[in-house]
Structure 1
C-alpha cells in the first residue's frame, strides 16, 4: 500500500477506480441535481413561432416611412391578439393589430411598436416615427434552432436546464443514477445527539455533516451510525455496506493509535488497500481501498479534517460516479487581506473568507484552524491552498483559493 502520497496522486487513484453509474429515466422534476446521461436535441425551435416581446401593435414598417411628430401615420386597428391565440385576419396596408406579449406575429406584419410610443383614438392608432422591418420581433428559433444539440451528457440538471427541457416538451430525463454512500463513524467517545452528554464523551457531528456533504455533491447518504473501536464490528459494517452502496466513507480510527483499527478492519473485509496518508493538512491520515469496484474511504475523526478531506478527495469521486462533467469546485487567485502566521513543511488548506473587492478577490483566515474546529467552516467559504514548505502568508500575498460555497 502506498503511503504519504501527494494529494493529486491520491485523487487520481480514486478517480481512476470509478466510472459513472448506469443510466435511468426519471420524471423531470425528480432530475434536479442529477447529471444528464445523453445529449438532448431540440425537436422544434424556441420560440416555435415569430412573436412579440411586448404589449403594443403589430404593423407593416412600410406604413410608417413618412411618420413624424407633426404628421403621424394613422392606422386602423382591426383586432387584438392575445398570448395563446392567433390572428383571425391579416395585417393589410394601412392597418395594425393590437398584440400582447408572447402572442404570435400576425400574417402581413413585420414589426411591433409598444403601446407607450403611440396614441390611440377609437380604432385609429397614430405612429410618430418610422419603424424598421424586424423591429420589436422575436423570431422562431432565435433562442434554439430545431435539431440543435442544446444540452450534452454530463450537464448537471439545475433550474435552467429543467426549464429548457420543459420548453422542449420533455416530461422525463435520461440521467445517471445518484451514488449511494454508506456512512459510519468509529470511536468509543461518540454519542448520538439524543443521548445525555456525559464526561469524556462528545456528540457525533461527523455523520450528519458528511451526509449533508454527500447531498450537496449529488449523492444519497446512507447513515450507518457509530461503531466502537472494535475490529470485528467495523469489519462487519464494511461488509454490509458493500452490499447496499456505491461508496463507503467512515470517520475516525485511521491514524497510528492503539485503537485506530479501521485499516485492519478493511483488510479483514477483503478490501484491497490503495493508499494510506496523504501529504496535506488537515486530514493527513486518510486511507482508501477497493473491493468489488467500490471504494472504501476512511477519513480523520477530527470534524474539520474529515469535511476538508471529503471536499478534496471524496467529492470529486461522487461527482464522477454521478456522471457530472464538472467534478471540481472553482479555484481563484486571492490576495491576503491580513497575514496568516503558520507555515510548515506540509501542504496546508486554510479555512478562509474570500470576497470580491475592488476588482479582485480578498482572502481572510476564518477562525480557529485546528483539525477539530468546526466554526471556521461555517464562517468560511473557501480553502486557501498553501504549498508545502511555504512560510507564513503575508498581507498582500497572492494565494490560490478553492471556493467551497
Structure 2
C-alpha cells in the first residue's frame, strides 16, 4: 500500500502516521526519539522502523517499533572492516524489506536517517514521501571539504580540492558494498540509479543538528535546515560540588564506553589538576572498574548531560555529535579524543574553529589529557570560540522548529 504524495489530502480528523527509519544506534535513536515524541504530542502516530536491535531503543524512547525482520551487528568497539560490513548489511536490509514494511504501515511520511540511505530508497520504492535527518555529521559531498570520517584540516584552494577528491575516491572504494546494495535496490524497484549516500539526502527537507558555524565552509544542499540539537526535557538534575575546583565532564558515549585505560588516564589527569571530574561510562565499566578509577571522580553510567554541562568548565569527549552540540550550546570548551565513525571529522571542525584541543587516541595519555585540559581551562579563547555557535543553536529552533518543518511536509487534512 502506498502513502499519499506530499500535499494530498488525508481523511478529516486523522493525524499522520510518521515512520522514523534509522540504524540501531543509541545516539541516533535519541535524536529521532526527541523529534518523534514532539510530533506524537501533537497527535501524530510516530513509530521507529528498523532492524531488531532498534526495538529496545524505541522502547526507551517511548515509541512503537516496527521491525524489518533483520538484525544489525553490535558495533561496540568495532573496527573499520566490521563497521563497513555491518553498514552494507543494514542498508541491504532496508532495501530488501523496507518497502514492504512501509507499505504495510500505510505511512504518510518517512523520516529517514541521513546515514542510512537504504531507508530513503525504501520510502521511494513504497511511494511514501520522505525527508532526511542528519543525526550525526552531515554527509554532504563537496570538493571543498574532506570526507566526514577523516581528521583532515580544512585546506583552501586547488591543493585542498585535489586532496579532497582523492579522499572521496577512497571513501567510494570503502563503501563499495553499500553502493552495490543501493544499486540492487534501484534496479529492483526501477528507481533512478543512485549508488552513493549523498545522493539520497532529501532536497525537499533535510533536518540537521549540526550548525554551519561549527562546520567547514561549504555549500549545503537545497533541503538543508539547521535546527540545532534535537532534545526534549531532560530527566534528572545535577548538584555541582562547590569549593573543590572547576568541574570537568567526561564521556565517551554509548558505543565506546568500555575503554577503562582511557577513563583511567582522564581520572589521573583530573586529579593532577585538582579539578572535580564527573565521568559517564555509558554502562561500559563494571562497578569494580568504575570504583577503581584513580583520584576521586564521580562515576556513573549516565548523567543528565545538559544539567552537568551547565556547571562544567570543560569536557573531555570522543567528539560524538550530541555531546559536541550540548557543549557548544553551553559554551563548554572541549578536549576531543575521536575514536570512531565520523568523530575524527567532527574533531577536525572543532579544531578549525578553536573550540577544542584534539588528541589522537594513541596519544591520549595522562600527560597529554592533563595538558589539553589545562589549556582549555586557562585560555579563554576556547570558550569564546563557542559564542557564535551557542547563539546560532539558541536561535535555530531545536525540536520545536524541526517538528514544524516536518508538519509542513505532511499531507494536508480536510478542514473539519
Q: TM-score, normalised by structure 1?
A: 0.23
Q: TM-score, normalised by structure 2?
A: 0.23
Greater radius of gyration (CA): 1
Higher strand share: 1
